Amino acid sequence: MAKEKNIKTNAVRIAETAKIDFEAINYESDGFMEGTAIAHKLGQPYAQTFKTLVTKGKPGQFFVFVVPVSDELDLKKAAKAVGEKSVEMLPVKDLLATTGYVRGGCSPIGMKKAFPTVIHKSAAEFDRIMFSDGRLGTQLKMSPNDLAMLINGKFEDITR
């Protein structure tokens, strides 16, 4: 396999600076792919492959949730986890301006601002989990505890 030059994303730079052990996994992408399709393409279990979802609460308040690709975020559990009455999904059209990332390439690491982040509790069951590195066509694999440390995240039950 020919060695291709990897473009470093914010997530990769942050993980390297923190001396976190991770693996970057590249795949062919010509646009947005569902997380389950990415997991399937890379031969990874759905339960160990996570997607990053961004929500909004009160005006100006944003929250990030990292959940298995085959699961749905429970907005009531999510709101409770961040101490809000309610949260709603951030419209896709606002994702880039809010996070610096595009749909399908949103990483919980290295957003424009550090938003409160909750990782589904199932992540803690694995040695390593996979999630977007911040661009289409690349995933990161790392310890869920290292991820939580990097983003000041916590583990909770936030899915249906």
Q: List the domain boundaries for the chain.
A: 10-156
Q: Which CATH superfamily is domain 10-156 in?
A: YbaK/aminoacyl-tRNA synthetase-associated domain (3.90.960.10)
pLDDT tens track of the chain, all 160 residues? Answer: 344 455 788 899 999 999 999 999 999 887 788 899 999 999 999 999 999 999 999 888 999 999 999 999 999 999 999 999 999 999 999 999 999 999 999 999 999 999 999 999 999 999 999 999 999 999 999 999 999 999 999 999 999 9
Cα–Cα–Cα angle for 62, 97, 11, nearest 5°? 80
DSSP state of 159: B
Q: Distance from CA of residue 153 to its chain's centroid?
A: 11
Interval 40-86: pLDDT, tens: 999 999 999 999 999 999 888 999 999 999 999 999 999 999 999 99
CA distance 115 to 2: 38
CA distance 21 to 134: 17
Integer angstrom CA distances of residue 8 from 24, 25, 133: 10, 12, 9
